[in-house]
Amino acid sequence: MSGVVAADGSILHHSGRHLHANDGPGGVIRTVVSAARTSLGGIARSSLPVGIAVAAQVDPRTGTVVHAPNLGWRDVPLARRLSEELGAPVAVVNDARAATIAEWKYGAGVGATDLFLLILGTGVGGSAVMGGQLLEGATHAAGEVGHMPIIAGGRRCHCPNWGCLEAYVGGWAIAERAREAVRADPENGAALVARADGAPQITARTVFEAYRAGDLLAGRIVRETERFLADGVVGIVNAFNPSVLVMAGGLVAGMPEFLPIVESAIRARCQPSAAGARVVAARLGEDAALVGAGIVARDYLAPP
Amino acid sequence: MSGVVAADGSILHHSGRHLHANDGPGGVIRTVVSAARTSLGGIARSSLPVGIAVAAQVDPRTGTVVHAPNLGWRDVPLARRLSEELGAPVAVVNDARAATIAEWKYGAGVGATDLFLLILGTGVGGSAVMGGQLLEGATHAAGEVGHMPIIAGGRRCHCPNWGCLEAYVGGWAIAERAREAVRADPENGAALVARADGAPQITARTVFEAYRAGDLLAGRIVRETERFLADGVVGIVNAFNPSVLVMAGGLVAGMPEFLPIVESAIRARCQPSAAGARVVAARLGEDAALVGAGIVARDYLAPP
């Protein structure tokens, strides 16, 4: 997704463009350059700063993609290469951090000095603003709360650990738990299997849909997910002590009921000092990372 | 404990003084004033800045003790009242934060920009320096990782939650687990009970001593504690992404074997981006909070 972000955080131009990981850095950069040229076509000054959000560990000072598991990249100097192509300054930022900056400056977290953005999607990610500054960490990876264990020695995660929050409430994990449940209880699982057109096709989305249609087994999965999520959030809020927890991602969009449940758990079970944190839904949806990349370009690059 | 801390972090004068919580704020303040006068007796300038570390939620800007469960205090303007008595500027800081500042400036974390101090004592506490700044949180409570659940719905904690890290590896929890174990297995528990002079007197210290003496049941408790601790630390390091994890507190002093175990867990099970964190033992021992209070007085109060 690419676009032009105005100084007030609004999106002036917007376009979707598909990237193919197996194009390698060269191919991806060509696509990005072409998208940026399209987006910038109507803008008089082509040397406007460019921000790009990537699902990767990024060194924001150099604009290097340190490690992008989805793209299979390691140590790609993305900012430098894009800057050479575009003839404009380029900032590179991790996508969760970009979304956090966007929600903080123009979305659900406006005015907060200490906020945590929790992203519930296929994976579980996070990022924090603490004391009015984005929390980076030693290798720009702070906030990876999807990989805090909530059940020591529990379910295998996609990361090198077991029992992580993501291994229970990430989209892939909800699907996996549901597939196990229908295997263990074929009778109550039959409707969900039929809806998904076969057990292997069960996703978090089909579980949520079945739950809304009154399916018992799907209801059980959703209830368990709520409990795991509440435990994870209690840990996050105790550990980071935000004033606002912003919840983002496809699973939150699909199941807004998670918000009051999470807020109740914070009130009842967090340390008294931390238990006042408010829980709010992200406001910028899928545009958050784009807006955040624009903000980073605006604020962290020298004016053109 | 009170003392005079030199500009280089060394302790010039040192004295222990017992405080009694049921003296109330007035009595405690009189004791602190008397201790400070003793410590400052040999110093020419009595208006030297005074720092005080308290096991409490503190607002460091106003020097107010917001909540001190051990003392039963709420909203005590400690800095103001001490300052009136002493005729000197006074800074108040949470004890874990004071210890963190001390280890960062003069102890095991010198040179680190992103460090986490994990305190394993009767309770489990923590505090972080991120990007070269102490992490405060919305209500100055960031870093309370003792209350991150590691077993969702698990053991009752002393906080309002279940399954917290502290409920497994805090000193009180180790003792509790050991008492349950000797009840469940009286035969293998007999030696530990005898050593402690009765099951109710079992403490983490007696468990560690029995383990060193080759006691099987104590060995089981220690091994389990290691596993729970490793899980907790993997979560902390993934969430905060420090370059250095400093381990402090009586349990670490009593069981330095925890350090390499924790470091192995970080290497093997953290996210690749975070897995490089070094694990080091705290260096300043019980003086850390005193030194930290001195640093806060030096750095954050106007020179006298």
For residues B85-103, give the mean pLDDT: 93
CA atoms within 13 Å, Cβ hemisphere of A5: 26
Q: Which residues contact B35 (CB under 8 A, 6 or more apart)?
A: B2, B15, B17
Question: Residue B304: is its pLDDT beyond 50?
Answer: no
Question: Residue A304: is its pLDDT beyond 50?
Answer: no
Residue A135 domain boundaries: 111-282
pTM of the model: 0.94
Buried b (16+ CB within 10 A) or exposed e, B253-272: ebbeebeebbbebbeebbbe
DSSP B302: P
Distance CA A222, CA A210 (A): 10
Residue A254 lies in a domain: yes
Q: Are A130 and A174 contained in the same domain?
A: yes
Distance CA B231, CA B151 (A): 10
Q: Is the dihedral of CA A42, A44, A47, A52 positive or negative?
A: negative
Q: Are A16 and A146 contained in the same domain?
A: no
B:173-212 residues touching chain A, CB 8 A cutoff? none
Q: Do B273 and A232 touch (CB under 8 A)?
A: no
Residues of A in contact with B269 (CB under 8 A): 159-162
Alpha helices in B41-170 (DSSP H): 78-86, 95-106, 166-169
Q: Are the beta carbons of A128 and A240 closer than 8 angstroms?
A: yes
A109 touches B: beta carbon within 8 Å: no
Distance CA B236, CA A13 (A): 40
Mean of all residue pLDDT scores within chain B: 92
Q: What is the pLDDT of residues B247-281, one digit of tens each?
A: 999 999 999 999 999 999 999 999 999 999 999 99
B11 touches A: beta carbon within 8 Å: no
For residues A5-12, give the mean pLDDT: 82
Residue A105 lies in a domain: no
Distance CA A179, CA A192 (A): 9
Q: Do A140 and B273 touch (CB under 8 A)?
A: yes
A240 touches B: beta carbon within 8 Å: yes
Q: Are the beta carbons of B244 and B276 closer than 8 angstroms?
A: no
Q: Do B139 and A241 touch (CB under 8 A)?
A: yes
Q: Are B270 and B224 contained in the same domain?
A: yes
Distance CA B69, CA B114 (A): 29
Q: Are A52 and A158 contained in the same domain?
A: no
Residue B106 lies in a domain: no
Q: Are A15 and A156 contained in the same domain?
A: no
Q: Are A95 and A21 contained in the same domain?
A: yes
Q: Do B160 and A269 touch (CB under 8 A)?
A: yes
DSSP A149: B
Q: Are A121 and A248 contained in the same domain?
A: yes
Report which of residues B44 and A282 the model is more confident about: A282
Residue A104 lies in a domain: no
Q: Are the beta carbons of A282 and A247 closer than 8 angstroms?
A: yes
User: What tokens appear for B47 in the block?
Assistant: 């208006």
Looking at residue A49, its pLDDT comes to: 86
Q: Do A235 and B148 touch (CB under 8 A)?
A: yes
Question: Residue B138: is its pLDDT beyond 50?
Answer: yes
Chosen for mutation from B57, B74, B127, B148 (greatest number of chain A CBs closer than 10 Å) is: B148
Q: Are B130 and B273 contained in the same domain?
A: yes
Q: What's the pLDDT band for A180 if we cut at 50, 70, 90?
A: very high
Q: What's the pLDDT band for B45 if we cut at 50, 70, 90?
A: low
Residue B130 lies in a domain: yes
Question: Residue B137: is its pLDDT beyond 90?
Answer: yes
Q: What is the pLDDT of residues A79-128, one digit of tens each?
A: 999 999 888 899 999 999 999 999 999 999 999 999 999 999 999 999 99
Q: Do B138 and A242 touch (CB under 8 A)?
A: yes
Pick A142's closest partner by Cβ from B150, B153, B240. B240
* Lowest-confidence pick of A16-25, A168-177, B111-120, B275-284: A16-25
A57 touches B: beta carbon within 8 Å: yes
Looking at residue A47, its pLDDT comes to: 73
Q: Do A239 and B148 touch (CB under 8 A)?
A: yes
B114 touches A: beta carbon within 8 Å: yes
Distance CA B139, CA B119 (A): 20
- Number of structural domains (chain B) is 2
Considering only alpha carbons, which residue of chain B is nearest residue A154?
Answer: B151
Question: Residue B46: is its pLDDT beyond 70?
Answer: no
Report which of residues B18 and B161 the model is more confident about: B161
A111 touches B: beta carbon within 8 Å: no
Q: Are B68 and B115 contained in the same domain?
A: no
Residues of A in contact with B234 (CB under 8 A): 147-149, 161
The three-state secondary structure class of B202 is coil
Looking at residue A69, its pLDDT comes to: 82
Residue B133 lies in a domain: yes
Report which of residues A25 and A108 the model is more confident about: A108
For residues A54-81, give the mean pLDDT: 90
Q: What's the pLDDT band for B191 if we cut at 50, 70, 90?
A: very high
Q: Are B116 and B88 contained in the same domain?
A: no
Mean of all residue pLDDT scores within chain A: 92
Of the ranges B2-11, B40-49, B282-291, the best mean pLDDT one? B282-291
Q: What is the pLDDT of residues B207-216, one digit of tens each?
A: 999 999 999 9
Q: Are A90 and A133 contained in the same domain?
A: no
Count CB neighbours of A153 within 10 A: 14
Residues of B in contact with A238 (CB under 8 A): 141, 144-145, 147-148, 161
Question: Residue A43: is its pLDDT beyond 70?
Answer: no
Q: What is the pLDDT of residues A226-247, one digit of tens each?
A: 999 999 999 999 999 999 999 9
Question: Residue B23: is its pLDDT beyond 80?
Answer: no
Q: What is the pLDDT of residues A129-169, one digit of tens each?
A: 999 999 999 999 999 999 999 999 999 999 999 999 999 99
CATH number of residue B168's parent domain: 3.30.420.40
Considering only alpha carbons, which residue of chain B is nearest residue A226?
Answer: B152
Q: Are B176 and B277 contained in the same domain?
A: yes
Q: What's the pLDDT band for B27 if we cut at 50, 70, 90?
A: confident
Phi-psi group of B11: left, alpha or beta (phi > 0 → left; psi -120 to 50 → alpha; rest → beta): beta
Beta bridge partners of B126: B118
Looking at residue B105, its pLDDT comes to: 96
Looking at residue B302, its pLDDT comes to: 54
Q: Are the beta carbons of B120 and B250 closer than 8 angstroms?
A: yes
Angle (CA) A242-A254-A161 rounded to 5° is: 60
Residue B27 lies in a domain: yes
